[in-house]
Amino acid sequence: MKPLRLAVFASGRGSNLEALFTAIDEGRLTAEIVLVMSNNPDAGALTLARERGVRACHLSENDFTTPEAFDTRLLEILGESGGELIALAGYLKKIRPPILRAFKHRMVNIHPALLPAFGGKGMYGKRVHEAVLEYGCKVSGVTVHLVDEEYDTGPPILQRCVPVEEGDTPESLAARVLEVEHRIYAEAVQLFAEDRIEVDGRRVRIKGA
């Protein structure tokens, strides 16, 4: 099987990016990470990419006169990288239509809760787990989904539950959820590498499942 050329967008520490690198090393993911892009020059994800000899690209909208100019440059960089799938891994910026069109059904995101609960604008990091605990939920989980024009609203590809335990704090719950994120993201991307994803409206079917 030909390795899937993967572009990863990340704004922060990059533990999901690291998990994808590890999955590739361990032969669980048939992919090559060809580009890591971040809006944040200090993102740990960029450091990780550089350490691996992968193109690490800091691109900020603030450096462009218009959003269109930013999107054009981003598409150019994606084109140069030959990326076939974009994986958002803690990328905090909204993706605009030109990029969505160019990567229709080929852009995924990971969210640390069971969507559509506890998603949307501003729902990231510790806030997600705080909200889950405040609500009194018995389960939380992880969702990997296709990306559309809103935050966290695209059709789910894989979802996995993580039980909430008595005495959980946002930090303890986040840590258990993150362990699952690190496994499930590589699994979801592997489905693309194996060409097993079929999209029918909001239904994502996994061929051969």
Which residues of this protein are in contact with ligand GRF, per CB under 6 A? 10, 12-16, 89-90, 110-112, 124, 178, 181
Q: Hunting for tokens 């990288």 — which residue is that? A: 81
Q: Which is nearer to ligand GRF, 81 or 143 (CB)?
A: 143
Q: Which is nearer to ligand GRF, 59 or 73 (CB)?
A: 59
Spatial neighbors of 47 by CB under 8 A, at least 6 apart, are: 14, 56
CA distance linking residue 113 with residue 135, whole number of Å: 13
Spatial neighbors of 81 by CB under 8 A, at least 6 apart, are: 5, 7, 34, 35, 55
Active site residue 111: yes
Q: Which is nearer to ligand GRF, 131 or 178 (CB)?
A: 178
Q: How far is the CB of 178 from ligand GRF (least distance, A)?
A: 6
Distance between start and end Cα atoms, the chain: 19
Q: Which is nearer to ligand GRF, 73 or 92 (CB)?
A: 92
Q: Which of 58, 105, 111, 129 is catalytic?
A: 111
Longest CA pairwise span in the chain (Å)? 51
| Phi–psi pair at 8, nearest 5 degrees | -115, 130
Of all residues in the shown chain, the one whose CB is closest to ligand GRF is 90
Amino acid at position 164, single letter: V
Alpha carbon 40 to its chain's center:
16
Catalytic residues: 111
